[in-house]
Amino acid sequence: MKRWLIALLVLLLGRRRRRPLLDEGERVVPPGAPDRGAESLVLLLFGAAAVCGVAFPVIYAWDAIPNQTQFLGLALGLALAFISAACIVIGKRLVVTEELEEEYSGTHPDDEEALDQLVEESGSRFTRKRLLALAGAGAGTALGAALLTPAASLGPVFDVSSLYRTPWRRGTRLVDEAGRAFLVDDIEEGTFYTAYPEHADREQMGAPLVVVRLEPAELQLPDDRRGWAPEGILAYSKICTHAGCAIALYRKPTFPAVEPKPALVCPCHYSTFNVATGGQVIFGPAGRPLPQLPLEIAGGGELRAAGNFSGPVGPSWWGVRRHGARP
Ligand code: FES
């Protein structure tokens, strides 16, 4: 008996009052007067947001612009502010509001029907619904494009040609710091030289070279690089393929019978590149070989480039983790 009483009590207290069924044609929300001024303001705000959203990728792509970061922030901030302002105007001036006296559960068919009606009638002030929806979608799309734009900084996806662009062309002379052309006889074994392309910007990443000389019999270059090292002279990019430090050490065995072969070494994290085999990584964190530049000897013994590098110059993200740890 006690259980029955408790169950009855719970049933009575738990019952919600239902919204009385609406008569045919009866409104839930009182009608509101159209406000074309507010609509125009919303259109203007959405338009301004779209312009700011589109401006973001334009500024992003325009490297030469001063204070680029600040302009990027401004474009994104203004786009968000304009969209927020548009939403506020819609909420305050264009959506008819109704004060709820009871909760809508949304589960009872009557409530759901009333809710649908409420939503429908709340927008009764709009006179240019489609245009406003279009403007809102435009602003949202432009903002989405702006938010996705920074993903382009993850690396070139469609056009990777910039990775291969260097000042080296067939026939470019190798010159020293003073601009003097390197001759074959200048290059001795057991040391390395820094060379630059003649008449080119030395600050470019693809410009500096390290030049070394081996006995031609020591060379073990890949088949497609036969002829890249005339008289045993080899040229490699000076920029380490790990994190972009300058290659500044040359390992020369003092007792070749037992000591490791000659190699170029980066002092930052000790990536070590085998000069005899085309710059292969034999130690350290670098993920790919040092790019090699093909050489040729011109009249008078001048050293010249016979083409561009064997691969992209500079630090790389691809392949850094492609290989396991090296001994
Ligand atoms: S930058 Fe050369 S080893 Fe790290």
Proportion of the chain above pLDDT 90, given as a percent: 57
Higher pLDDT, 316 or 180: 180
SS3 3: helix
Which whole number is the average pLDDT over 315-322?
Answer: 58
Nearest CA to ligand 1 atom 3: 269
Among the listed ranges 111-115, 150-154, 172-176, which one has the minimum average pLDDT value? 111-115
Q: Which atom of ligand 1 is nearest to the CA of 241?
A: 2
CA of residue 4 to ligand 1 center, whole Å: 80
Whether ligand 1 lies within 6 angstroms of the CB of 272 is answered as no
- Say which residues have a Cβ less than 8 Å from residue 306's Cβ, sequence separation at least 6: 170, 227, 228, 294, 295, 296
Angstrom distances, CA of residue 294 to CA of 277, 278, 291, 326:
13, 10, 10, 28
Q: Which atom of ligand 1 is nearest to the CA of 244?
A: 1
Which whole number is the average pLDDT over 259-278?
Answer: 95
The token pair at 62 is 């325009």
Ligand 1 pocket mutation, candidates 247, 271, 272, criterion most atoms within 8 A of CB: 271
Nearest CA to ligand 1 atom 1: 243
**Predicted pLDDT of residue 272:** 97
Nearest CA to ligand 1 atom 4: 269
CA of residue 266 to ligand 1 center, whole Å: 6
**Predicted pLDDT of residue 153:** 76
Q: How many domains does the chain have?
A: 2
Ligand 1 pocket mutation, candidates 264, 266, 316, criterion most atoms within 8 A of CB: 266
Cα–Cα distance for residue pair 141/135, rounded to 1 Å: 10
Quick check: is 78 in a domain?
Answer: yes
Quick check: is 57 in a domain?
Answer: yes
- Say which residues have a Cβ less than 8 Å from residue 216's Cβ, sequence separation at least 6: 229, 231, 232
What range defines the domain where residue 101 resides? 32-152
Whether ligand 1 lies within 6 angstroms of the CB of 271 is answered as yes
CA of residue 282 to ligand 1 center, whole Å: 13
- 263 shares a domain with 169: yes
- 187 shares a domain with 299: yes
Quick check: is 312 in a domain?
Answer: no
CA of residue 34 to ligand 1 center, whole Å: 68
Last residue of a domain, one of 120, 152, 184: 152
Q: Which atom of ligand 1 is nearest to the CA of 243?
A: 1
Span 28-38, pLDDT tens digits = 666 777 888 88
Whether ligand 1 lies within 6 angstroms of the CB of 284 is answered as yes
Torsion of CA 178, 184, 190, 191, to 10 degrees: 10
- 219 shares a domain with 119: no
Q: What is the CATH number of the domain that holds 263?
A: 2.102.10.10
Q: How does residue 113 score in pLDDT terms, banded at 50, 70 and 90?
A: confident
Proportion of the chain above pLDDT 70, given as a percent: 81
Among the listed ranges 60-74, 196-210, 235-249, 285-299, which one has the minimum average pLDDT value? 60-74
Most confident of 110-114, 126-130, 264-268: 264-268
| 108 residue type, one letter | H
Which whole number is the average pLDDT over 106-111?
Answer: 63
pTM for the whole thing? 0.59
- 45 shares a domain with 92: yes
Higher pLDDT, 144 or 319: 144
Quick check: is 15 in a domain?
Answer: no
DSSP string of 115-127?
HHHHHHHHTTT-S
Quick check: is 12 in a domain?
Answer: no
- 298 shares a domain with 171: yes
Last residue of a domain, one of 129, 152, 175: 152
- How many C-beta atoms surround the C-beta of residue 57 within 10 A? 18
- Say which residues have a Cβ less than 8 Å from residue 178's Cβ, sequence separation at least 6: none
Ramachandran angles phi, psi of 263, nearest 5°: -155, 155
Whether ligand 1 lies within 6 angstroms of the CB of 242 is answered as yes
Whether ligand 1 lies within 6 angstroms of the CB of 245 is answered as yes
- Say which residues have a Cβ less than 8 Å from residue 86's Cβ, sequence separation at least 6: 41, 42, 45, 46, 49, 136, 139
Quick check: is 85 in a domain?
Answer: yes
Span 166-194, pLDDT tens digits = 999 999 999 999 999 999 999 999 999 99
CA of residue 287 to ligand 1 center, whole Å: 10
| 34 residue type, one letter | P
- 233 shares a domain with 201: yes
- 270 shares a domain with 140: no
Whether ligand 1 lies within 6 angstroms of the CB of 266 is answered as yes
Last residue of a domain, one of 152, 175, 207: 152
Span 7-61, pLDDT tens digits = 555 555 555 544 554 555 666 666 777 888 888 999 999 999 999 999 999 999 8
- 179 shares a domain with 103: no
Higher pLDDT, 219 or 157: 219
Whether ligand 1 lies within 6 angstroms of the CB of 269 is answered as yes
- 146 shares a domain with 231: no
pLDDT of 325 higher than 60:
no
**Predicted pLDDT of residue 124:** 73
Quick check: is 311 in a domain?
Answer: no
- 133 shares a domain with 36: yes
Higher pLDDT, 123 or 6: 123
- 126 shares a domain with 259: no
**Predicted pLDDT of residue 240:** 96
- 190 shares a domain with 99: no
Quick check: is 228 in a domain?
Answer: yes
Tokens 């070394």, residue located: 212
Average predicted confidence (pLDDT) for the chain? 85
